[in-house]
Structure 1
Amino acid sequence: MAVKITGVGSFIPENEIRNTDFGNHEFLDTDGSPLTQANEIIIEKFRDITGITARRYADDGIMSSDMAFYASKRAIENSGIDPETLDYIILAHNFGDVKKGAIQSDILPSLASRVKQKLGIRNPKCVAYDILFGCPGWVEGMIQAYAFIRAGMAQKCLVIGSETLSRVVDLHDRDSMIYSDGAGATVVEFSENEDDGILAYESATYALDEAGYLFFGNSYNQELDKDVRYIKMHGRKIYEFAISQVPKAMKACVDKSGIDIDNIKKILIHQANEKMDEAIIHRFYKLYGKTPPDKIMPMSIHTLGNSSVATVPTLFDLLTSGRIEDQTLQKGDVIMFASVGAGMNINAIVYRY
């Protein structure tokens, strides 16, 4: 028995926000005082570290569940399945449906239930639920779908990652330039070909000292409403944690799969920070006494930013549809999905395409 992806789709918002659009923002320090550097210098340093030159924001009237529906519809069409035959809809997000300027997110009913309704699925045996797992949520959803199918509890699952991070950022925090909106989805099915699909997985939560590395906090503008909270992070701690722990999890996953490291063709890693991702890949290969091959790591962060749970499935859709320059996949290629995020959570999957 094998579990493989038979359809993939994504939704990338049309609104492009370029770095230059932040030129007139009032960036503040944690104590509310203005940053001493000019915005042009702040933005240039930001681009050098993260690799981000632009990101996408959803239209004001589009919710996270709407984007999830659009990506899911495309994945279902790509797979050719009847949506009524889906056993599970697993939707990873972190902040629910958030209206622009709203104080509270909306997760009642669950976003997965909203997507099921929008897809017009009548079958009550199609179970829909959300998972909150930080940025690695879609990868974790894939692991759960794998477990359901391997256990004989399901034959077809829809796994989605969707987020509107632009609506939970503090515009006075320079870190707000990292985040973006988007959605990606995959149809996952039972396969009789044991050589296909998911070959191994690894997942972990480090919470004793690390749980608060990402958190909700007040705006750096101390004159704003204290009841409104925004996504905040201890960037240096996250960077150090990620480059230390993610390569180890990736190695454990590869070792469990029985695949030789030289046979990994692509690594699709969460698009959070270009320099961090590069450091993770180099440390991962160093664990095998090797250096990363050329073009091993397709990237979308430069123009799409960090859309949290949507980055990996969106990247997979872009790669498999030939929309990433100088990057291709062939049938039978072994790839890896990997992610890190709030919790702190880490996971990885070795997959034969």
Structure 2
Amino acid sequence: MPASTLSTVITGSGRYLPSQVVSNQDFLHNEFYDPSGKRLPNTNEVIIQKFQQITGIVERRFALEDQVASDLGYLAAQEAIQRANLDPETLDYIIVAHNFGDVKAGSRRVDMMPPLASRIKHKLQIANPYTVAYDLPFGCPGWLQALIQGHYFLQSGEAKKVLVIGTETLSRVSDAHDRDSMIFSDGAGAVVLEARTEGPKAGVLQHLTVSDTLTQTFWLNSSPSYNPEVSQEDLYIKMDGRKIYEYALTRVPQLIKDCLDKAQVPLSAIKKVLLHQANEKMDEAMLERLFKLYGLDTIPAGIMPMTISTLGNNSVATLPVLYDLIARGDFDGQQFQSGDLVVFASVGAGMNANAVVYRFP
């Protein structure tokens, strides 16, 4: 069979969003500090108001006390396997994207051994030793990079079925004294990828990834709390928001265009742009910059569905959760149809960014 007829398609998807809803008002009693250890001068009401204006976040989900990232990933994986209508023993690979492993409630200890993929395979009770399970830490673009790796396995003939999971509990590694902590949330999403030979080329058409590390590496990092009275031995997720914003605005739109050019697909053919849900204003600015690269001022209504207002930024889980909501008809006013061309794109720690052009079969 010619390589051009071998397609990597998503045959099932799933998500798990914890039931615990945390609103912006729940942060009113926090004590916020700046990176130098000084209390922020504004009231929490003003801090939260400005935060909501910039990020678009109104509420987010936090894992329950007895849950860790592998639990969330397992529940999303269960749904994806069920939707794909397959025997989990027939999976060739399980790739799990995350960044902090299993962090228990009240702890700052990162637990990554055994790998989360092994833990999830165990929870799924898969006995097949040839179902290879491994983790992929790659910042927020991790799930999309795992999808790209799965695509390679399928295209090479190495595999026929791959489970790709993104799961994270960022609430466990957020500094309560850093206003950026209000961005982060918990959740998991998963898809099953399968190789198909019937019909015209579909699924993953092209992909592109970049890693910029000369000056950008530590813009997202693990550092002590901003509150000098808190133990400085514990590490929390920290970011240079301004530099990340500027990087995303410069790098991601051009990366998407380069990926579309590589696929020989015009922007006008794209029905949806699915961006990592990092920051509402940042995502909107990236989309606007993308259209300007093509000399276009008018952006089609509804082309960029967003979940960040109610789900926050749960890192590697944002894209698969967004995909699953639309694919299963749970996102009002949004749907995928056969033949639709969509773009996935993400940016995050490393600094890493990636994009995938996908055609629905």
Taking structure 1 as the reference length, the TM-score comes to 0.99
Partner in structure 1 of residue 100 of structure 2? 95
Partner in structure 2 of residue 44 of structure 1? 49
Output the CA distance in 2 between the equivalents of 1:4 and 1:273: 29
Quote how far apart the aligned CAs of 1:217 are: 0.7
Letter in 2 for 1:40: E
1:302-341 mapped onto 2 (5 Å cutoff): 302-341=309-348
Give percent identity, aligned residues only: 52
Output the CA distance in 2 between the equivalents of 1:255 and 1:311: 25
Quote how far apart the aligned CAs of 1:290 are: 1.2
1:19-34 mapped onto 2 (5 Å cutoff): 19-34=24-39
Quote how far apart the aligned CAs of 1:101 are: 2.1
Output the CA distance in 1 between the equivalents of 2:114 and 2:343: 33
Q: Are 1:244 and 2:250 an aligned pair?
A: yes
Partner in structure 2 of residue 203 of structure 1? 209
Letter in 1 for 2:356: I
Output the CA distance in 2 between the equivalents of 1:274 and 1:103: 28
Partner in structure 2 of residue 121 of structure 1? 126
The one-character-per-residue Cα deviations of 1:214-262 (angstroms, maximum 9, x if unpaired) are 0111101111111101000000000000000001110011111122211
Quote how far apart the aligned CAs of 1:195 are: 2.2
Partner in structure 1 of residue 239 of structure 2? 233
RMSD over aligned CA atoms reads 0.8
Output the CA distance in 2 between the equivalents of 1:33 and 1:344: 28
Partner in structure 1 of residue 3 of structure 2? none
1:263 to 264, 269, 290: 269
The one-character-per-residue Cα deviations of 1:111-146 (angstroms, maximum 9, x if unpaired) are 000010100111000000000100000000000000
Taking structure 2 as the reference length, the TM-score comes to 0.97
Letter in 2 for 1:300: T
Contact 2:346 2:355 in 1 (8 A): yes
Q: Where in structure 1 are there 5+ consecutive unaligned residues?
A: none
Output the CA distance in 1 between the equivalents of 2:320 and 2:210: 20
Q: Where in structure 2 are there 5+ consecutive unaligned residues?
A: 1-5
Partner in structure 2 of residue 277 of structure 1? 283
Letter in 1 for 2:103: V
Quote how far apart the aligned CAs of 1:31 are: 2.0
Partner in structure 2 of residue 190 of structure 1? 195
Contact 2:20 2:64 in 1 (8 A): yes
Quote how far apart the aligned CAs of 1:104 are: 1.5
1:120-199 mapped onto 2 (5 Å cutoff): 120-192=125-197, 193-199=199-205
Quote how far apart the aligned CAs of 1:289 are: 1.0
The one-character-per-residue Cα deviations of 1:52-106 (angstroms, maximum 9, x if unpaired) are 0000000011010000000000000000011111000000000000012213211
- SS state at 1:212 partner: helix
Contact 2:168 2:186 in 1 (8 A): yes
1:214-229 mapped onto 2 (5 Å cutoff): 214-229=220-235
Contact 1:134 1:308 in 2 (8 A): yes
Contact 2:108 2:172 in 1 (8 A): no
Number of matched residues?
353
Contact 1:10 1:71 in 2 (8 A): yes
Contact 1:103 1:227 in 2 (8 A): no
- SS state at 2:123 partner: helix
Contact 1:4 1:191 in 2 (8 A): yes
Output the CA distance in 2 between the equivalents of 1:24 and 1:276: 27
